[in-house]
């Protein structure tokens, strides 16, 4: 059975214990690079499209590895997406395109689809043979029936979001690691849940 949102947040805080400073530093580096590239005149938008997606992958994977291994944060992992650039960039640009197209129809379908695609970076990490639509479709299958669960998990950080606004964005340096670690915990929990269900179904069929 999936953990409650409060349990996912608790295990995320435990994971980040002793790592908050490095997590905030990694977030600062991520935001500075992403923001800095997009602010470059003329070429900025092109560079942002090229750089942002592998960087976003690395930012997600950094906290997945932290959750799994509990080792000190290695900021160098932010750039892991560039080691497999074609697969990572190609898949995540498709996620962005699909989300934009759904959002152009109506805002709500766009939000729903964004949650369907939410696990794609983790799947790219765990299943290197998958890419493009195959990785996206795997995320959609895993999230079938669980999109609201992840939405409510994100929504449970509303207090931190308000704090980030009140601190002129400084709180974001701690909110992003907290939310990313919670999403990693959600992914690991969901994987275990679906694996147990598959085993149970196999036993029943036999």
Residue 176 CA, chain-centre distance (Å), reads 10
The whole-angstrom separation of Cα 129 and Cα 132 is: 10
Higher local confidence (pLDDT), 41 or 72: 72
Q: Is the pLDDT of residue 203 over 60?
A: no
pLDDT band at 81 (very low <50, low <70, confident <90, very high): very high
pLDDT band at 2 (very low <50, low <70, confident <90, very high): confident
pLDDT value at residue 99: 96
In order, the DSSP letters of 137-191 are: HHHHHHHTTTHHHHHHHHHTTHHHHHHHHHTTTTTHHHHHHHHHHHHHHHHHHHH
Minimal CA–CA distance to 136: which of 102, 160, 176, 173? 102
pLDDT band at 48 (very low <50, low <70, confident <90, very high): confident
pLDDT value at residue 106: 86
Higher local confidence (pLDDT), 175 or 168: 175
Calculate the average pLDDT of the chain.
Answer: 91
The whole-angstrom separation of Cα 28 and Cα 38 is: 15
* 31, 33, 44, 181 from 39: Cα distances, Å: 12, 10, 6, 28
pLDDT value at residue 191: 94
pLDDT band at 44 (very low <50, low <70, confident <90, very high): low
Backbone angles phi, psi at 171, to 5 degrees: -60, -20
* 1, 34, 84, 154 from 176: Cα distances, Å: 26, 14, 24, 11
For the stretch 141-156, pLDDT in tens is 999 999 999 999 999 9
Q: Please enumerate in sequence order all residues whose Cβ is within 8 A of that of 120, keeping only pairs 6 or more positions apart, or say none.
A: 91, 92, 95, 135, 136, 138, 139
For the stretch 100-144, pLDDT in tens is 999 998 899 899 999 999 999 999 999 999 999 999 999 999 999
- pTM across the whole model: 0.90
pLDDT value at residue 70: 86
Residue 34: strand, helix, or coil = helix
């Amino acid at each position: 059975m999936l953990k409650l949102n409060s349990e996912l947040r608790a295990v995320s805080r435990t994971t980040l214990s002793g790592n908050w400073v490095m997590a905030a530093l990694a977030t600062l580096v991520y935001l500075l690079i992403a923001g800095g590239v997009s602010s470059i005149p003329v070429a900025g938008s092109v560079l942002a499209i090229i750089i942002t997606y592998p960087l976003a992958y690395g930012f997600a994977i950094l906290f997945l590895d932290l959750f799994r291994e509990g080792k000190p944060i290695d900021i160098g992992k932010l750039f892991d997406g560039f080691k497999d650039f074609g697969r990572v960039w190609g898949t995540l640009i498709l996620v962005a395109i699909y989300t934009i197209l759904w959002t152009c129809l109506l805002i709500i379908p766009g939000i729903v689809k964004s949650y369907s695609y939410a696990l794609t970076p983790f799947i790219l990490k765990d299943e290197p043979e998958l890419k493009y639509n195959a990785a996206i479709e795997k995320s959609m299958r895993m999230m079938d029936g669980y999109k609201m669960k992840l939405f409510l998990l994100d929504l449970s950080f509303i207090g931190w979001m308000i704090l980030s606004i009140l601190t002129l964005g400084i709180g974001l340096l701690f909110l992003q690691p907290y939310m990313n670690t919670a999403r990693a915990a959600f992914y690991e929990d969901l994987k275990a849940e679906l694996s147990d269900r598959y085993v149970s179904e196999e036993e029943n069929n036999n």
